Amino acid sequence: MTRKSQSLSEEIRKEVLAAEESIREHIRETPVEYSPYLSRLGNCDVYLKLENIQLTGSFKLRGATNKILSLTKEEKDKGVITASTGNHGAAFAWLAKKFNVRGTIFLPETSSPTKIESLRLYGADVQYYGDDCVKAEIHARKIAGKEGLIFISAYNDPQIIGGQGTIGIELQRQISRIDCVLVPVGGGGLISGIAGYLKSESKNIEIIGCQPEKSAVMYASIRAGRILVLESELTISDGSAGGIEPDAITFPICQELVDDFILVTEEEIISALRLIMEKHYLLIEGAAALPVAAFIKQKNRFQGKNVVLILSGSKISLESLKKILC
């Protein structure tokens, strides 16, 4: 571990410890479940971190809670804004209602009625712009700048990263020895928080990012040494799909603290989803299946180790489930 990496992990550790103190009473300490099947498959000990049963259905609540609680009364009264069609949007809407904060969520005009309805159930002010998430986010940022509102990013914010990193604190309470953690990667907020905290505890813990082959922007960017603008193909791991902001603070963190990446195919993701439903009776989304698929793909490298797979969320549509199961 280089001096730069050590300094970075210590900086993230401070954010994570502050977040832990701030958000603990507002989130669930999700359980860890041992997987006999995967453990036998890899000749190791495999533990599933069940963020799929976190409040609002994903780990995103951690970072969003930390950010909302950091705002001043004046900032809360004025209002906050974000752009998301998925887990970040659900967490944002739930928190806006809980803490009585005026919140607006921008969605692409192409968003599914199911997702729109789920956000409105929390009482969110939903507005529409553009035909994809990137355009909706750019517009939301412009509105925030024009009206003096706080824009809450899904990943590109130290307090968001700090909140997600509280998973690392829980893992250390729950598992006596951690050798390796496999984490889904989209924008990189989740893996940045977990890697930063755990590497500050032990530089020997291996952190592996997991992405779908059809949307592996972080992986490709790290290989190129710069943030790339790439088109993502459609993937069942829609929660991790998409690009990275040009100034994303998660990029240098992943460069320094993520040890390796494993990319998986759509068939491997679907197989992992089925396996978790069949062997553990758990409902997970495509992004949450990435670590499972990655573990199975390279199972031989984990022999004799204590391995943690982060099951990041549970939001999968009935249409997708039908395709997977039928």
Predicted local confidence at residue 97, as pLDDT:
92
Q: What is the percentage of the chain residues whose pLDDT exceeds 90? A: 79
| Nearest Cα to Cα of residue 194 among 207, 213, 177, 212 | 207
Q: Are 36 and 45 in contact (CB under 8 A)?
A: no
| Nearest Cα to Cα of residue 190 among 121, 88, 270, 273 | 88
Name the strand (E) or helix (H) holding 115: helix 113-121
**For residues 178-183, average pLDDT:** 99
Neighbours of 131 (CB within 10 A): 12
Contact residues for 16 (Cβ-Cβ < 8 A; gap 6+): 162, 165, 166, 168, 169, 193, 196, 197
Predicted local confidence at residue 56, as pLDDT:
94
Tell me the pLDDT tens digit for each residue of 147-167. 999 999 999 999 999 999 999
Q: What is the pTM of this model?
A: 0.95
Output phi, psi for 221, to 5 deg.
-65, -40
Q: Are 176 and 255 in contact (CB under 8 A)?
A: no
Examine domains 3-58+159-325 and 61-155 and report if their fold is the same.
yes
Neighbours of 113 (CB within 10 A): 7
Single-letter residue type at 191: I
Single-letter residue type at 56: T
**For residues 17-36, average pLDDT:** 99
Q: Are 286 and 316 in contact (CB under 8 A)?
A: yes
Round the average pLDDT of the chain to a whole number and report it.
94
**For residues 176-196, average pLDDT:** 98
Contact residues for 315 (Cβ-Cβ < 8 A; gap 6+): 57, 58, 86, 87, 90, 239, 285
Predicted local confidence at residue 264, as pLDDT:
99
**For residues 15-42, average pLDDT:** 99
Please give the class, per CATH, of domain 3-58+159-325: alpha beta
Cβ-in-10-Å burial (0-12, 13-18, 19+) of 230 comes to middle
Give the residue extent of every domain in the chain.
Answer: 3-58+159-325, 61-155
Judge whether residue 25 has pLDDT over 70. Answer: yes
- Model confidence at 323, pLDDT cuts 50, 70, 90, reads confident
**For residues 248-258, average pLDDT:** 97
Predicted local confidence at residue 112, as pLDDT:
67
Q: Are 209 and 261 in contact (CB under 8 A)?
A: yes
Tell me the pLDDT tens digit for each residue of 289-298. 999 999 999 9
Judge whether residue 123 has pLDDT over 90. Answer: no
**For residues 210-238, average pLDDT:** 94
**For residues 239-268, average pLDDT:** 95
Predicted local confidence at residue 280, as pLDDT:
98
Predicted local confidence at residue 136, as pLDDT:
83
Rounded to whole angstroms, the Cα distance separating 140 from 133 reads: 10
**For residues 230-251, average pLDDT:** 89
Predicted local confidence at residue 138, as pLDDT:
87
Judge whether residue 268 has pLDDT over 70. Answer: yes
Per-residue 3-state assignment (H helix, E strand, C coil) for 213-254: CCCCHHHHHHHHCCCCCCCCCCCCCHHHCCCCCCCCCHHHHH
* Domain 61-155, architecture per CATH: 3-Layer(aba) Sandwich (3.40)
